[in-house]
Amino acid sequence: MSARVVRFNRTERWVHAVQAISFLVLLFTGLAISLTFMESLVGHRALMRQVHLTAAFFFVFGPGLVALAGDRLAIGSDIHEVDSWAKDDIRWLAHPSTSPDARTPPAGRYNAGQKLNAIFTVYCTVAFGITGLILWQNRQFPYSLVSQANTIHQWLAYFALVVFLGHLYLSVVHPATRAAFSGIILGTVGADWAKHHHPKWVAPPAPETRLRGNEVVRSLVLLGLGLECMAIVSRFGLELLGAVNTDPVIKLIYRVTGFPGTVQHAASTVHTWDLGALLWLGLGMALWYGAMRRHSLLPRIFPAPAKG
């Protein structure tokens, strides 16, 4: 068995998993509430809507929170690699290949296609998030904007479905590239495959370190605090919009953020700045920041890039 190298560390794999799972849930529930034949098979529109909106929360906030709860520097360097393109990357786009040969411009850790896919994913997070918020809170926006958001959300969904199917084909089915699949699930890929497909990538020499119990606890605490803070931020966003709190999803957000001292809304419309919730948000963020600074980050498997 040939040597294996680490392509994605634990944090990178979890960031991917969180967004992948929430995407699949969003895709299923989204199709279930927009296609007639799916509606006839699944139905239960109110439930599908609630699941869709809950998954959306994890789709939008999840990856960032996992990154911050784990090895944020690794995610930072991923973002940097996707952002910075060498001349070879631009040449690669003109001669893309799933089985690189001598004429294929050499790729780094990510080839140009993978970089475009990553950019598209970030774009989807933002665009689905904004158009989805307008559709969800449709009573708080002009109808022309709701209508526009509906069209964009729907077109983008089908485009993302096509991109997703291509992504799945290349990573699971295509014989030349499916060796990459183990990288995002287990972390490692074959060293020979990596050299052939990503010649400019300097793979880390050491295997991933074992996960220690206290690191798991700290990551879970950071994740929990982060989710709670985002729920309180969402509560403020909804109050700012003047959302109606009889919506079950908003009821849920109010339930998980309804600490002592927060405003308990009896009226159907909420539109107040809630000082109590603001204090809880401050406390949550202080705890979160403390937990992040208190201990060292998860063991980094990528050495810091040499300066100079």
Q: How far is CA 101 from CA 86, 95, 97, 110, 167, in A?
A: 19, 11, 8, 16, 22
**Residues in 227-256 at the binding interface with another protein, rule: CB under 8 A:** 244-248, 250
Distance in angstroms (rounded) separating the CA atoms of residues 169 and 49: 29
Q: Which is nearer to another protein, 99 or 151 (CB)?
A: 151
- Find the farthest-apart pair of alpha carbons in the chain and give their distance in angstroms, rounded: 69
Q: Which is nearer to another protein, 34 or 171 (CB)?
A: 34
Distance in angstroms (rounded) separating the CA atoms of residues 78 and 15: 12
Which distant-in-sequence residues (6+ apart) come within 8 Å of 154 by Cβ?
Answer: 34
**Among the listed residues 16, 20, 21, 39, the single contact to another protein using CB under 8 A:** 39
262, 228 Cβ separation under 8 angstroms: no
Q: Which is nearer to another protein, 204 or 276 (CB)?
A: 204
**Among the listed residues 3, 24, 76, 84, the single contact to another protein using CB under 8 A:** 84
Asked whether position 96 contacts another protein by CB under 8 A, the answer is no
The stretch among 6-14, 127-135, 163-171, 216-224 that binds another protein (CB under 8 A) is 127-135
Angle at the Cα of 34 from the Cα atoms of 29 and 36, rounded to 5 degrees:
110
Distance in angstroms (rounded) separating the CA atoms of residues 26 and 207: 35
The stretch among 36-44, 57-65, 169-177, 270-278 that binds another protein (CB under 8 A) is 36-44
* Element containing residue 140 per DSSP (H, E): none
Distance in angstroms (rounded) separating the CA atoms of residues 200 and 194: 9
Distance in angstroms (rounded) separating the CA atoms of residues 252 and 247: 9
Q: Which is nearer to another protein, 268 or 296 (CB)?
A: 268
**Among the listed residues 9, 11, 111, 131, the single contact to another protein using CB under 8 A:** 131
**Among the listed residues 24, 76, 83, 169, the single contact to another protein using CB under 8 A:** 83
Minimum CB–partner distance for residue 269 and another protein (Å): 10
**Residues in 137-156 at the binding interface with another protein, rule: CB under 8 A:** 138-152, 154-156
291, 69 Cβ separation under 8 angstroms: no
- Written as six digits, the tokens of 171 are 């990573």
Q: HEC states along 107-132?
A: CCCCCHHHHHHHHHHHHHHHHHHHHH
**Among the listed residues 3, 24, 119, 165, the single contact to another protein using CB under 8 A:** 119
For another protein, how many residues bind (rule: CB under 8 A)?
63
Q: Which is nearer to another protein, 43 or 207 (CB)?
A: 43
- Written as six digits, the tokens of 13 are 């794999």
Q: Which is nearer to another protein, 155 or 289 (CB)?
A: 155
Minimum CB–partner distance for residue 36 and another protein (Å): 4
Minimum CB–partner distance for residue 63 and another protein (Å): 15
Minimum CB–partner distance for residue 148 and another protein (Å): 4
Q: Which is nearer to another protein, 156 or 233 (CB)?
A: 156
- The phi and psi torsions of 262 (rounded to 5 degrees) equal -85, 160
| Residues that bind another protein in the complex, under the rule CB under 8 A | 33-37, 39-46, 82-87, 89-90, 115-116, 118-120, 122-123, 126-127, 130-131, 134-135, 138-152, 154-156, 158, 200, 244-248, 250, 268, 306, 308
